[in-house]
Each structure stands twice: as C-alpha cells, then as structure tokens.
C-alpha cells in the first residue's frame, strides 16, 4: 500500500533500519548520548533554547500535560476542527473551564477573534492553538495569533502535531510556551513518541500546580533533563532512534529549509493535480495546509467511497474526519514519499472518479 496518510505516514528507510535495532538500557551511556543528540537537533529545528521532552505517548499526551501543569481554572481553546475540539475535550475532562473560539469549518482563527475573547475573559490563564488542523487541512497564521497572546500575557500552547518538521516554527521568537508534536507525522517516524518544548515560564507555573499527577508532570521531566538522565520513566527508545535518524537525514540534505521546500513541492503537485481533476480544496484560499490536503469529494461520490476505491488501487489516503467525513477525503504529503508516487496516485484518483 502506498501511503498518503495523515499519520502514521510511511517512514524513511534510514528510520526503519533504526527501528529494528537491538535494545539497550535507557540508563546506559549509549542511550543518554542518543537522547541528548536528538533533543539538541530538535531544539535547533524548532528554534528554541527551552528543554525538549520526549514523552512515551502520542501528541495528545502533551495536551494533557499542558492543561494539568499550567492551567488552574480556565483557558481559551481555538477550534478550527476535530483536533481543536480534542484540546477542549482534554481540558474539560481535567475539570478546567474552556472558552472556545470556534471558526466556521475551513476558516482560520482571525487575530481579532482571539483578541475579543481575551478582552471578554481577561482571567483566562492560557491559550491553545492548533497550528495545522489536520481534520480540515488548514494552517492558521500562528505568529499573528501568538502576538495577541503575548500582548495579553497569556501562556501559549501550540498543537504542532501535523506542522512540526513540515513548516517553519520559531518557538522562542513567537513566544510559544509549550509546542508539541508526534513522531508519526512530518518527521516520518512510527508513532509512539510525543515531542515538545516547554518554556521556563510554563515550568514555573507547573512548580506551583496541585494534583497534576506524575506521568506528565513537567517538573519531573525537567529534573531528568537537567540531570542529563534522559527520561524519568523508560524511554520509547526505537522511536527516539528513528527520529534521530530522520533529523540526521534532513541535516545531510542541507537542513530544515530543504525539507520544507520538499514538502511544499509535494503539496503543490497534489493540489494542482486534484484541481486539474476538477476537485476543490476545502479550506479558505491562502490557508491551505502544507502537509495535508482536504479535498471535496467528487459529484455523486462520498469521501469514504473515494478512500475505498483508492485502497483497491493500492493507495491509502485518509478519510474525511469528524463533520467532514462524508463530504471530503484527505491526501497527506508527509514522511517517505517517492516522487513518482504522486503522479501514480493522481492518475488512480482520476480513474476512480
């Protein structure tokens, strides 16, 4: 099956080789070296001096961590689709009040909407933003939104699950307190690893937070990081090795800008191809995601029909998600993807329509 999924995505050969390595102790010198080399490459990649933690969890584990460590009562959650909804659900499941800033489906959060919410609810402690909303294939204007948060002095949590690695993230310059992602998206590594940076300010808030639990206690993670012990509980070693291999592969090709250009090229080829087939890209023009295209289903077909027909031809796309399940299907361009796959996929799509 040739994967155009939105995660897990197909993995690079170097990554799969690393995944199959024999184990080592997570307290051995070999692992500690691997761990901190990976952390330092990630810090450089997302432009931060803050510690980066490698959770044995999916990206959602970082949502839980952000809420439990850094919010006592109330937070704003920007919602463009299913993963913004998930952040709100995680906050509510932890007993926090949520002020939801909800857009029409396919539209970005405008800075003015966030500004209005923060003026109406000045006591909120933090703002959660989905950088790239995977469910609708939309990217928000993150620096414009973080600027509003900074001006109001709020903590900023960014769900960068389907953007980190695939497009620019300037964590320190944009003032992001917790910026997290997962291994199985733009880095082209199997799932199981949550990665995220945590600012000094967020750690200081966590230090005073009651009842935050242990598994995702950011201060527990900070202590292990500061003592150069790696992870406080057993590390998800194969995925750390896989991520290390992916980051080195990117470095060898010239660094992150080369990788962003590669993704942009794939994404443009897919968008042009589907538009030539007469299909529309769902989100508002100018806000199309650089990593996943959400495509309106052709006349007379539902999204799941397209998905199933494409599977029959050897291509695994992604189904529409949530409210858009029937009306759309999605085509990811993350991970390992030989150039000729794209032409083949577009040809098959033309055939099944």
Binding residues (CB under 8 A) for its own copies: these are 1, 3, 5, 7-11, 16-17, 19-28, 30, 56-58, 60-61, 63-64, 68, 86, 89-90, 93-95, 182, 184, 190-193, 210-217, 233-239, 316, 318-319, 335
Q: Are 85 and 136 contacting, i.e. CB atoms less than 8 angstroms apart?
A: no
124-152 burial, b if ≥16 CB within 10 A, otherwise e?
Answer: bbbbbbbbbbbbbbbbbebeebbebbeee
Q: Which is nearer to its own copies, 27 or 150 (CB)?
A: 27
Closest to 77 (Cα-Cα) out of 123, 109, 107? 109
What's the closest the beta carbon of residue 218 comes to its own copies, in angstroms?
12
Q: How many CB atoms lie within 10 A of CB 273?
A: 19
Burial code (b: 16+ CB inside 10 Å, e: under 16) for 294-304 equals: bbbbbeeebbe
For its own copies, give the closer residue by CB, 26 or 131.
26
> Minimal distance in Å, beta carbon 215 to its own copies?
4
Q: Given the complex with its own copies, which of 151 and 229 has the nearer CB atom?
A: 229
3-class DSSP string for 14-29: HHHHHHCCCCCCCCCH
The encoded tokens of residue 169 equal 């993230």
Min dist CB 252 to its own copies, Å, is: 21
Nearest to its own copies of 57, 80 (CB atom): 57
Give whichever of 182 and 289 is closer to its own copies, judged by the CB atom.
Answer: 182
Tell me how far, at minimum, the Cβ of 63 lies from its own copies, in Å.
8
- Residue ranges of E strands in 290-342: 292-296, 315-316, 318-319, 328-332
C-alpha span between 346 and 272 (Å, rounded): 10
| Minimum distance of its own copies from residue 242's CB (angstroms) | 9
Q: Which CB sits closer to its own copies, 87 or 282?
A: 87
Measured distance CA(143)–CA(82) in Å, rounded = 22
> Which residue, 265, 274, 315, is CA-closest to 294?
274
How near is the Cβ of 233 to its own copies at its closest, in Å? Answer: 5
């Amino acid at each position: 099956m040739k994967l155009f999924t939105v995660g897990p995505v197909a993995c690079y050969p170097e990554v799969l080789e690393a995944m199959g390595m024999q184990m080592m102790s997570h307290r051995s010198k070999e692992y500690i070296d691997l761990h901190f080399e990976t952390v330092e490459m990630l810090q450089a990649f997302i432009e931060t001096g803050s510690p980066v933690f490698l959770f044995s969890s999916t990206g959602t584990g970082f949502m839980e961590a952000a809420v439990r460590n850094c919010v006592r009562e109330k937070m704003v959650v920007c919602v463009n689709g299913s993963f913004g909804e998930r952040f709100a659900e995680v906050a509510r499941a932890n007993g926090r009040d949520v002020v939801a800033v909800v857009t029409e489906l396919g539209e970005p959060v405008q800075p003015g909407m966030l500004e209005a919410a923060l003026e109406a609810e000045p006591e909120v402690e933090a703002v959660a933003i989905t950088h790239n909303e995977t469910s609708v294939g939309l990217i928000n204007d993150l620096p414009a939104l973080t600027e509003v948060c900074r001006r109001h002095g709020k903590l900023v949590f960014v769900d960068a699950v389907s953007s980190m690695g695939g497009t620019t993230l300037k964590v320190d310059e944009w003032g992001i307190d917790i910026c997290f992602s997962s291994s199985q998206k733009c880095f082209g590594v199997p799932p199981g690893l949550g990665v995220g940076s945590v600012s000094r300010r967020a750690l200081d808030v966590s230090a005073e937070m009651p009842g935050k639990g242990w598994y995702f206690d950011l201060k527990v993670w900070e202590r292990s990081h500061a003592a150069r012990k790696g992870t406080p509980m057993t590390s998800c070693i194969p995925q750390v090795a896989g991520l290390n291999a992916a980051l080195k592969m990117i470095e060898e090709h010239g660094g992150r800008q080369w990788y962003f250009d590669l993704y942009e090229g794939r994404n443009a080829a897919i968008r042009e191809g589907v538009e030539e087939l007469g299909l529309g890209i769902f989100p508002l023009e100018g806000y199309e995601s650089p990593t996943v295209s959400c495509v309106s289903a052709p006349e007379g077909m539902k999204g799941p029909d397209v998905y199933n027909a494409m599977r029959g031809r050897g291509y695994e796309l992604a189904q529409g998600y949530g409210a858009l399940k029937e009306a759309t299907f999605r085509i990811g361009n993350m991970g390992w993807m030989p150039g000729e796959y794209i032409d083949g996929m577009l040809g098959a799509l033309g055939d099944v329509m």
